[in-house]
Structure 1
């Protein structure tokens, strides 16, 4: 008879936190903003330029990402600079973007292996 062991199951709290993170990443603009911030800190106008989103939209997304603990900020003069609060999210985004290119059937211009950079 094979040895049947119960699989390791996340706690309710860990599952809830993971779902909350996925919920925050379930928006294309937020995902793009967070990916940009994983490359280095940026201010709202730079994020607007790179994402094509308006300043109010980027600001709202940044507020949600900050509340979720995925983004931090610092003030320098009149500018507020944002950065990714956790490098753990890099692996999650890298895999999600690589998977998107795999199932999308066409390359979007970026080699998914470069997402590791």
Structure 2
């Protein structure tokens, strides 16, 4: 038990880490981040590839930027967003690798296979 207690992160670190996972938990924000894996994109292109409205895209990007997950570069009136941290790329890669190799059981009763007995 002492070894576990020694490795336990501080409260602030736990809360900050939970915030990052909370940001990744929203499907719209997750789609934006996946799109940004390919490189820098403007709001209108991000909206088009994710199926979000430009307003929803801008709102999500402001939140991601406030948490330093993405950064912005302005060229005239156009804002270009990119991932701000290689750790986010690693988290996304690991999360998608995990979901590809597991069959999640969802508490809502939906399973990936679609047969409803999850």
Q: TM-score, normalised by structure 2?
A: 0.79
Tell me which of 3, 6, 21 is aligned to 1:6.
3
Q: What's the counterpart of residue 111 of structure 1? A: none
Q: 1:6: how far off?
A: 1.4
Q: Deviations over 1:50-106 (max 9, x none)?
A: 101110110110011011110110110121000111010111111111222233467
Unaligned runs of 5+ in 2: 104-111, 114-118
The aligned runs of 1:1-117 (5 Å cut-off) are: 5-7=2-4, 8-104=7-103
Q: 1:34: how far off?
A: 1.2
Report the RMSD for the aligned CA atoms in angstroms: 1.6
Higher relative contact order (CA 8 A, sep 6+): 1
Q: 1:5: how far off?
A: 4.8
8 Å CA contact retained: 1:38, 1:87: no
Q: Distance in 1 between matches of 2:43 and 2:102?
A: 31
Q: Distance in 2 between matches of 1:38 and 1:70?
A: 12
Q: Distance in 1 between matches of 2:17 and 2:38?
A: 23
Q: TM-score, normalised by structure 1?
A: 0.80
Q: 1:44: how far off?
A: 0.7
